[in-house]
């Protein structure tokens, strides 16, 4: 589709919206000036005569991990205010929409700024959006806020440990998981899972002696 045709259609749609919304006539000049500047910039730097070629966005879609969902719900609980935002972020992240996942968590934090769960999920979302290889200062700060908001809850420490494993800091991950296990209730269904992860982490560190040095 020709670029000039698309631009003309855009102008017509904006004009129709101005009429439908009964915008005051003095404002029409501002809107018109903005559109004219945009059109001038497009004519200067764009290539309006090229035909359009629709492209589908490429996203890496992850398969649902039911075991991870069950562990998440066991640690944090379900059907709370922050639960809905965390689950929404999980779904968006699996669909490859990491920025949308981070934004979903931020939306929940606007109404629940002291949610340890959402701050922790924010750290995970930032790590995913950054590529999952390096734990940035922003992600570390989010995890720290999560631990400060819920100092006696195992969740922030467990997921911080998960992030450290992902970025290669195995000793730091072990310290975080030990802290999570110490905060897990005696009868919690996920205690065995945490303990098993520590055993596996020890084995991994034994195979990587250099990584085991503090």
pLDDT digits (tens, 9 = 90+) for 35-83: 555 555 555 455 555 555 555 544 444 444 456 778 888 999 887 888 8
CB 162, CB 179: distance < 8 Å = no
Q: Tokens representing 1?
A: 């589709």
Share of the chain above pLDDT 90, in %: 44
Other C-beta atoms within 10 Å of 64: how many? 10
> Which segment of 41-55, 84-98, 126-140 scores lowest on mean pLDDT?
41-55
Binned at pLDDT 50, 70 and 90, residue 170 comes out as very high
Higher-confidence residue of 154 and 44: namely 154
**pLDDT at position 30 over 60:** no
Structure pTM? 0.68
Binned at pLDDT 50, 70 and 90, residue 93 comes out as confident
Higher-confidence residue of 148 and 59: namely 148
- For the chain, the DSSP string reads --HHHHHHHHHHHHHHHHHHTT--HHHHHHHHHHHHHHHHHHHHHS-TTSPP---PPP--PPPP-HHHHHHHHHHH-SSSHHHHHHHHHHHHHHTT-HHHHHHHHHHHHHH-TT-HHHHHHHHHHHHHHTTSSS--HHHHHHHHHHHHHSTT-HHHHHHHHHHHHHTT-HHHHHHHHHHHHHHS-TT-TTHHHHHHHHHHHHHHHHH-GGGG--
């Amino acid at each position: 589709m020709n670029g000039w045709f698309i631009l003309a259609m855009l102008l017509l749609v904006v004009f129709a919206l101005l009429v439908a919304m009964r915008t005051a006539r003095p404002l029409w000049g501002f809107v018109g000036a903005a559109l004219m500047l945009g059109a001038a910039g497009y004519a200067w730097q764009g290539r309006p005569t090229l035909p359009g070629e629709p492209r589908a966005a490429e996203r890496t879609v992850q398969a649902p991990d039911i075991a991870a969902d069950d562990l998440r719900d066991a640690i944090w609980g379900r059907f709370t205010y922050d639960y809905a935002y965390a689950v929404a972020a999980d779904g968006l992240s699996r669909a490859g929409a990491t920025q949308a996942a981070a934004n979903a968590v931020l939306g929940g934090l606007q109404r629940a700024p002291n949610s340890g769960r959402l701050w922790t999920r924010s750290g995970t979302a930032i790590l995913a959006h950054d590529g999952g290889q390096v734990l940035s200062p922003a992600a570390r700060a989010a995890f720290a806020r999560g631990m400060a908001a819920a100092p006696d809850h195992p969740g922030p420490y467990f997921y911080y440990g998960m992030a450290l494993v992902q970025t290669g800091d195995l000793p730091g991950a072990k310290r975080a998981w030990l802290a999570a296990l110490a905060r897990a209730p005696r009868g919690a269904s996920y205690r065995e899972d945490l303990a098993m992860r520590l055993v596996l982490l020890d084995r991994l560190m034994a195979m990587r002696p250099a990584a085991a040095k503090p």
